[in-house]
């Protein structure tokens, strides 16, 4: 199994588990401190810590640039399907865990990932972790983002 397939499998397992938690949650769970809201379910913390350990093991295995790019590409696109859900923020937080992997990329791949990331997430909607990640990608690519002029057009 490739690294990207393993990440896909971990994400699919988490999303299946959190969807089950959401489906079985009682209306108003977590409201006024009564019950456990799905966003506070232990599966969220478990997924975050498992992914942190996986990324640490992955970077220590000295992966190829291609393997790293395929993993990062999946991780950066995964939250798009959950944009209207609290899971979006959990999946976005994982982006910060991938910053050490950026050093394993070739500059061309970092540039491609940076351009795709910048296109997918408008500047006004970026969270601090996303801004840090994008800066790291551009630094690895050896260039700065294209400046935008009036009405968002590239200069």
**Mean pLDDT score, 56-63:** 92
Tokens, residue 105: 């990329």
Our CA dihedral for 132, 136, 141, 145, rounded to 10 degrees, sits at 20
Residue 75 scores a pLDDT above 60: yes
Region class of 28: left (phi > 0), else alpha (psi between -120 and 50), else beta: left
* Secondary structure letter of residue 152 according to DSSP: G
Paired with 148 in beta bridges are 154
For residue 142, give Cα distances in angstroms to 17, 33, 136.
40, 48, 10
Percent of the chain exceeding pLDDT 70 equals 82
Query: Which of 75-84, 90-99, 125-134 is the least confident region?
Result: 75-84
3-state secondary structure of 83: coil
Provide the mean pLDDT of the chain: 85
- pLDDT value at position 67? 94
**Mean pLDDT score, 72-79:** 90
**pLDDT band, very low/low/confident/very high, at 37 (cuts 50, 70, 90):** low
Tokens, residue 15: 């999303």
* b/e burial code for range 3-21 (CB count within 10 A of at least 16 → b): bbeebbeebeebbeebeeb
Q: Are 92 and 134 in contact (CB under 8 A)?
A: no
* Secondary structure letter of residue 85 according to DSSP: S
Q: Are 55 and 103 in contact (CB under 8 A)?
A: no
d(C-alpha 149, C-alpha 155), whole Å: 6
Residue 29 scores a pLDDT above 60: no
| CA proximity to 127, closest of 80, 81, 93, 85 | 93
């Amino acid at each position: 199994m490739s690294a990207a397939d393993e990440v896909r499998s971990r994400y699919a397992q988490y999303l299946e588990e959190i969807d089950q938690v959401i489906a079985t949650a009682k209306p108003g769970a977590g409201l006024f401190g009564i019950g456990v809201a799905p966003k506070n379910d232990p599966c969220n913390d478990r997924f975050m810590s498992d992914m942190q350990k996986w990324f640490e093991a992955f970077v220590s295995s000295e992966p190829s640039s291609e393997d790293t790019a395929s993993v990062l590409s999946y991780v950066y696109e995964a939250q798009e399907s959950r944009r209207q859900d609290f899971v979006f923020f959990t999946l976005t937080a994982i982006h910060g865990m991938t910053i050490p992997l950026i050093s394993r990329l070739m500059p061309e791949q970092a540039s491609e990932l940076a351009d795709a990331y910048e296109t997918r997430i408008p500047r006004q909607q970026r969270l601090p972790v996303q801004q840090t990640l994008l800066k790291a990608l551009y630094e690895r690519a050896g260039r700065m983002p294209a400046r935008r002029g009036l009405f968002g057009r590239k200069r």
